[in-house]
Amino acid sequence: MRIIFVVLLIVNAIYAMSWNLYSGKENPSASSLSQINSEKIVLIPTEENCLAWGNFDEEQLHEAEISISEIVPDQSYNLEEAGYMLKYWLYIPPFQNKDIANRMINKLRNLGIVSFRIKDENSPQKNAISLGIFADKADAETQLYDIEKKGIPNGTIEERTVAVQNIVIHGATEEIKQQLQAVMAQFEGTRLVQIKCERL
């Protein structure tokens, strides 16, 4: 009888040891799981350093996007509304028809003056010739004086409140910043500032 008791005691001890070993393998402690998970989780900031280049009116924005496409890929920038600004539009009042307007544009081109015809059928300025939109009235007056010296009459300056936009460049390097600063000289009245923005 005593021998049977000893045998049962040994069997129970072996079973208990086996169960503890199996449970340890199948159910790691909470602290172990926490340690494993914490090593795998990498938190990515929702914001990053960006460059905001603006304020562009509609006319400037098209040209700016052409310039910036040569510096940064399309997927690394976006446009954002930047409110409204008072600007100064220099133009030659509407001509009788588009043919007369186009002849004036050719004359301006030969004089080295950039211009384009207003084509909007619903605009009261249809067939007018735009000579640029300026942030500074003094710059508009200087350009007006220049075209008058070249024999172009009827130039007019008009105040306009226009919607403006910024081009926001994500992940810009110092090299990209320097390239943009060089291009900025072509876009009167714009500025380049560093901001925080949401990742694309």
Is there a single domain that holds both residue 8 and residue 64? no
15: pLDDT confidence band, cut at 50, 70 and 90? Answer: low
- Contact of 74 with 200, CB cutoff 8 Å: no
| Rg of the chain on CA atoms, in Å | 35
Is there a single domain that holds both residue 120 and residue 36? no
β-sheet bridge partners, residue 117: 129
Cα 44 from Cα 93, distance rounded (Å): 55
pLDDT (average), residues 26-43: 56
Cα 157 from Cα 108, distance rounded (Å): 17
Is there a single domain that holds both residue 79 and residue 105? yes
pLDDT at 45: 72
Percent of the residues in the chain that have a pLDDT greater than 70, as a whole number = 78
Is there a single domain that holds both residue 22 and residue 53? no
**Mean pLDDT, all residues of the chain:** 81
How far CA 169 is from CA of 55, 56, 128, in Å, comes to 14, 14, 35
**Number of domains the chain is built from:** 2
Is there a single domain that holds both residue 179 and residue 99? yes
pLDDT tens, position by position, 87-107: 999 999 999 998 999 999 999
Cα 182 from Cα 200, distance rounded (Å): 26
Is there a single domain that holds both residue 32 and residue 52? no
Q: 184: burial class by Cβ within 10 Å (0-12, 13-18, 19+)?
A: middle
Domain containing 70: what range? 47-198
pLDDT at 6: 45
Is there a single domain that holds both residue 59 and residue 33? no
**DSSP 8-state class, residue 59:** H
pLDDT tens, position by position, 49-95: 899 999 898 878 888 998 888 888 777 899 999 999 999 999 999 99
Is there a single domain that holds both residue 30 and residue 51? no
Is there a single domain that holds both residue 29 and residue 119? no
Is there a single domain that holds both residue 32 and residue 62? no
